Amino acid sequence: MNNEKKKITMMFILIATLLFGLVPFILLTKRSGELQTGNMLGILVVIIIALLAAVIGVKRIKDLKQGQPVEDELSKKVLNVAGARSFYMSLYWLLAIMLLQPVIADILFDSEMLDAEQALGGGITGMAIIWFLNWLYYQKKGVN
């Protein structure tokens, strides 16, 4: 039980660090005049991830207070299946970024091509979203 409390505390510390780190990014981006659609989308994704993590943390606290285990066999299997399926889907996501690079750069950043940071950030963000959607799907549907 004590180990689970440490994990939950660390989770909330990481959420706070993530949100506090977002503030200087927003201020610096706004000051330099580079607050574009792509940057706003990235900020929105970080805020959504922080909120979802906070909801999961609160749920884990409630489960811990009721004496239920935080992780059981089903939740471990859901994580495993979601991770495996999202890996293959992420390969297609990265391929789509590569093929549609000029279109994505024009729409989100008003440029001709994506630079390395933008492509890498889009890849990682997309992979996280794909994993979360897979996790949510298998959490509701169940695994066979």
- What string of pLDDT tens digits covers the 144 residues of the chain? 578 888 889 999 999 999 999 999 889 888 888 777 777 888 888 888 898 889 888 888 888 888 887 777 888 899 899 999 999 999 999 999 999 999 988 888 888 999 888 888 889 889 988 998 998 899 899 887
pLDDT confidence of residue 1: 58
82 in the same domain as 127: yes
Q: How many domains does the chain have?
A: 2
Domain boundary among 35, 70, 105: 70
Contact 129, 45 (CB under 8 A): yes
39 in the same domain as 89: no
Strand, coil or helix: 59 = helix
Domain that holds residue 101: 72-144
101 in the same domain as 50: no
User: What whole-number distance in Å separates Cα of residue 127 and Cα of residue 37?
Assistant: 20
54 in the same domain as 80: no
pLDDT confidence of residue 88: 95
Domain boundary among 70, 97, 131: 70
Angle at which helices 116-141 and 37-65 cross, to 10°: 40
pLDDT confidence of residue 87: 96
User: What whole-number distance in Å separates Cα of residue 49 and Cα of residue 130?
Assistant: 13
- What CA dihedral angle connects 8, 141, 124 and 34, to 10 degrees? -90
Domain boundary among 50, 70, 90: 70
Q: Note the helical H segments in the chain.
A: 2-32, 37-65, 73-99, 101-104, 116-141
